[in-house]
Amino acid sequence: MTKRKTFRQPSTDLKPHPQTGAPPRRRKRVRPGAVLGAFLLAMLVAATPALADDKDGSGLDAHARMQHLHVLLHEGLGLVLDGADLVMVANLGLDPSMDRKSSEHGDAVMKAGRELLEAAGGAIEGIGESGSERLAYTRELQRAFVAVAEHLEGMQAPKLSQEKDLGLHHMHLMTHHALRSAATGANLNMLASVDSSGEVDELSDRHGEWLLSNAKNTIARVLEGPSMQRLHDEGGYDTELMSLTHQLAQSADEAIELMLQMPERAEM
């Protein structure tokens, strides 16, 4: 018979302090999550720009509020891309038991991302920088992200029986990856523009630039690279799917170009 392991319970026989006679106190356990939360809060406070233009009493200047909107727009775009990936996988019909769940969840995630993009767009007018270059840029960025979302929502499913269609499917995945990389790079550039961490800011800026540059190059390969040229030369692809692929990649290219033109990058 296997002997069950027993675990020693903490002692409840706590003795008074040997010198002062003070009653014993139990030591409080420090939760790692609480420490991490406090650390992140401190970092956010340290990274907040000067509050020289606090027009609405929120404690943040217009620049900081605009950056917050940019991060929300990037998050909304990321959700739409994640949902689109799930729908694309489901459309391949490789696992009927999972395809329905993948498609339903993908649709829900895409909807949540689209709603976040729309909500962020509605918040732009309350920033308090009417007529500024940064406000105009943010409006344009939001419109570009919504255009990408619309192309993803209207994307046609590839046919498993068509090898050329699957090639276009891979190009869609590359386009999604390029957009995610660009959004991450733009966020890193915004963090670097706060100018609060010296060498860390430089590292953040360099990596952000690298991600944005690679994203731009990836879209160029999708639109005009050897794989696309070969498909056009050989034919045999679904013309509607090809047209949608070009429209998606073109809208992605415009969105990435805007992220490359982010005002914070010019200020660094």
Per-residue pLDDT of 192-201, as tens digits, reads 888 777 888 8
With cut-offs at 50, 70 and 90, classify the pLDDT of residue 55.
very low
Q: Examine the pLDDT at 204 and tell me if it is beyond 50.
A: yes
- Three-state secondary structure call for residue 48: coil
CA-derived radius of gyration, the chain: 26
With cut-offs at 50, 70 and 90, classify the pLDDT of residue 265.
low
Q: Examine the pLDDT at 223 and tell me if it is beyond 50.
A: yes
With cut-offs at 50, 70 and 90, classify the pLDDT of residue 33.
very low
Rounded Cα distance, 25 and 27, in Å = 6
* Average pLDDT value for the chain: 80
Least confident of 90-94, 194-198, 233-237: 194-198
Rounded Cα distance, 136 and 142, in Å = 10
The whole-number pLDDT of residue 252 equals 98
Cβ atoms 113, 76 nearer than 8 A: yes
- Three-state secondary structure call for residue 56: coil
Of 193 and 86, more confident: 86
Kindly report the CATH number that applies to the domain delimited by 59-267.
1.20.58
Per-residue pLDDT of 104-155, as tens digits, reads 999 999 999 999 999 998 888 777 556 678 888 999 999 999 999 999 999 9
CA dihedral 136, 142, 147, 148 (to 10 degrees): 130
- The DSSP letter of residue 60 is S
The whole-number pLDDT of residue 49 equals 40
In Å, how far are 71, 124, 139 from 136, measured between CA atoms?
Answer: 16, 9, 5
Kindly provide the b/e burial profile for residues 165-182, where b requires at least 16 CB atoms within 10 angstroms of the residue's own CB. bebbbebbebbbebbbbb
Cβ atoms 255, 144 nearer than 8 A: yes
With cut-offs at 50, 70 and 90, classify the pLDDT of residue 189.
very high
Burial class (CB in 10 A: 0-12, 13-18, 19+), 150: middle
Cβ atoms 179, 219 nearer than 8 A: no
Over residues 97-106, mean pLDDT? 93
